[in-house]
Amino acid sequence: MAPLIEFRNVTKTYTKGLLSRTATTALDDVSLQLDEAHPTIMTVAGESGSGKTTLAMLLLGFIPPSTGTILYKGKDISRMSNEERVTFRKEVQAVFQDPFAVFNPFYTVDHLLSVPIEKFKLAKSKGEARNQMEEALNAVGLRPEDILGRFPHQLSGGQRQRINVARALLLKPKLIVADEPVSMVDASLRATILESLRKLNRDYGISIIYITHDLTTAFHVANSIIVLYRGSVMEAGNVDRVIKEPQHPYTRLLIDSIPWPDLNRKWGQTEIIAREQVYGQVERGCKFTSRCPFVMDKCRQAPPPLYKINEDRVATCYLYDQQPTIAREKLSEMLPV
């Protein structure tokens, strides 16, 4: 059976202006896939500029890849028939970062839920639609009587974000792309929203691609992780192990810079080198060379391939060049579900 969603050597570059030659590579030859039979939660982690938002936009079909193909259930999404497109739209949903911006301030919050019901013909009558909305709200821990009929500015950020999750739930999609769903929500409410996402995966068999820069939440929610840096995969594998025992120098820097709420784990284990990124340089080698404390000559020549560290871990770093390599296309085989 064809995988649910597949990226085949997808690259996305943005050029400045019509004739300019300076191009920014947002995503560089990334391949991954998720299977329908094993619904999982995969995290794509990275800082700003890593390409994770571009990945989200590509996944949702909002922008086309520059090279490579994106396939949904085996079909290239840029070449789908209208009917296939409608199915794609229905089965791939999103939860976005800003809980307020997704609401049209002119309408009550009901609008967010009622439009997809209407467009995808999920209910045959107003009453049935209402039932579905109430059910979805209950499933994320909200009381319909507190929520329906209100305007977005009358509700809190946490409530709004939960309505977003409820919306995703309504459509019973196969895949949810969650782009920083809790970064704009107060810390105390994050737990409930993340729990709702996990419930969607566990109880409804929905796969989730959780995009974030916050590794602590990724640790709690996901099964596998892909760490991106400037469009390339640095490390990937089992989320527990990657976060507790990072292998790639970039991941190490990232983990060490997380402000753990733990007095025994303070900053400063790894040093931050070359503080400012020198942007705009065309790099032939590994993207992390200018900041890597372990940089070697060969790092500047060509980007390292994926090295297999153990049965559920890969890293693209010449430090591990003793290990066997894996083709980029096979990345997803290394990720646990």
Partner 1 sequence: MTQTQQQPVLRVIDLQVTYYTDSGRVRALDGASFTLNPVEKMGLVGESGSGKSTMALAMMRMIKPPGRIEGGKVIVDDVDLTQLSDSDMRKARLSRISYIPQGAMNSLNPVLRIEAQMRDAIKAHVPEMSGSEVQQRIGEALESVDLNRNVARMYPHELSGGMKQRVCIAIGILLKPKLIIADEPTSALDVVTQRQVMETLDRVQKQLGAAIILIGHDMGLMAQFVDKVAVMYAGRLTEISTVKQMFTTPMHPYAIALIDSLPTLENKGVFKGIPGLAPALLRLPPGCAFHPRCPFAMDICRTEVPALEEKAGRLVSCHLYDKNGNRVHQPGEAVLQR
Partner 2 sequence: MSATITSPAAGAPAVPAPFQQPPRRVLVARYLRRNKSLGVGIAIVIFLTLFTIIGSVTIDTAKKAYPLAVKTKQPPSAQFPLGTDWYGRDLLAAMVRGLWQTAVIGFLAGAAATALGVVLGFISAYYGGAVDKTITGICQVLQPIPPFLIQVIIAGSIDKRSVTIYTMALIVFLLSWMGPTLVIRAQVLSMKERMFVNVAKLSGMTNLEIIFKELLPNLLPFIAASFVSAVFGAIFASFGLSVLGLGPMREPLIGNIIYYSLQQSAFFNGWWWWPLWPMLTLILIFSALTLINIGMDEIANPRVRRTE
Residue 66 CA to residue 305 CA, distance in Å, equals 22
Nearer to partner 2, 49 or 116 (CB): 116
Nearer to partner 2, 174 or 313 (CB): 174
Q: How far is the CB of 277 from partner 2 (least distance, A)?
A: 26
Instruction: Centre a 10 Å sphere on the Cβ of residue 138 and count the other Cβ atoms it contains.
Output: 12
Q: How big is the chain, counted in residues?
A: 337
Residue 322 CA to residue 320 CA, distance in Å, equals 5
Q: How far is the CB of 39 from partner 2 (least distance, A)?
A: 20
Q: How far is the CB of 270 from partner 2 (least distance, A)?
A: 36
| Alpha-carbon dihedral angle through residues 3, 52, 317, 34, given to the nearest 10 degrees | -10
Token pair in block for residue 86: 């409608």
Residue 37 CA to residue 4 CA, distance in Å, equals 9
What DSSP string runs through 57-79?
HHHTTSS--SEEEEEETTEEGGG
Which letter does DSSP use for residue 328 in this model? G
Q: Applying CB under 8 A, does 62 fall inside the site for partner 2? A: yes
**Which residue, among 327, 298, 304, has the nearest Cα to 248 in the 3D structure?**
304
Q: Applying CB under 8 A, does 142 fall inside the site for partner 1? A: no
Token pair in block for residue 58: 């590509």
In this chain, which stretch among 7-15, 217-225, 296-304, 326-334 interacts with partner 1, using CB under 8 A?
217-225
Q: How far is the CB of 295 from partner 2 (least distance, A)?
A: 39
187 binds, among partner 1, partner 2, none (CB under 5 to 8 A by kind): partner 1
Residues in region 197-216 near partner 2 by CB under 8 A: none
Residue type, 289: T
306 beta partners: 326
89 binds, among partner 2, partner 1, none (CB under 5 to 8 A by kind): partner 2
Binding mask 94-133 for partner 2 (x = CB under 8 A): x-x-x--xxxxxxx----x--xx--xx-------------
Nearer to partner 1, 7 or 229 (CB): 229
Residue type, 217: T
Residues 17, 105, 259, 280: which binds partner 1 (CB under 8 A)? 259
In this chain, which stretch among 89-97, 202-210, 221-229, 294-302 interacts with partner 2, using CB under 8 A?
89-97
Q: Applying CB under 8 A, does 14 fall inside the site for partner 2? A: no
Yes or no: say if 172 and 136 are a contact pair by the CB < 8 Å rule: no
Nearer to partner 1, 130 or 213 (CB): 213
Yes or no: say if 182 and 194 are a contact pair by the CB < 8 Å rule: yes
Residue 237 to residues 45, 166, 175: CA-CA distances in angstroms?
12, 29, 20
In this chain, which stretch among 97-105, 107-115, 213-221, 298-306 interacts with partner 1, using CB under 8 A?
213-221
Helix 110-119 to helix 157-170 angle, to the nearest 10 degrees? 10
107 binds, among partner 1, partner 2, none (CB under 5 to 8 A by kind): partner 2
Nearer to partner 2, 104 or 301 (CB): 104
Residues in region 60-119 near partner 1 by CB under 8 A: none
Burial class (CB in 10 A: 0-12, 13-18, 19+), 147: buried
Yes or no: say if 333 and 322 are a contact pair by the CB < 8 Å rule: no
Token pair in block for residue 234: 């640095």
Residues in contact with partner 1 by the rule CB under 8 A: 47-48, 156-159, 186-192, 194-195, 198, 213-217, 219-220, 240, 243-244, 253-254, 257-263, 266-267, 272, 275-277
Residues forming the site for partner 2 (CB under 8 A): 60, 62, 86, 89-90, 93-94, 96, 98, 101-107, 112, 115-116, 119-120
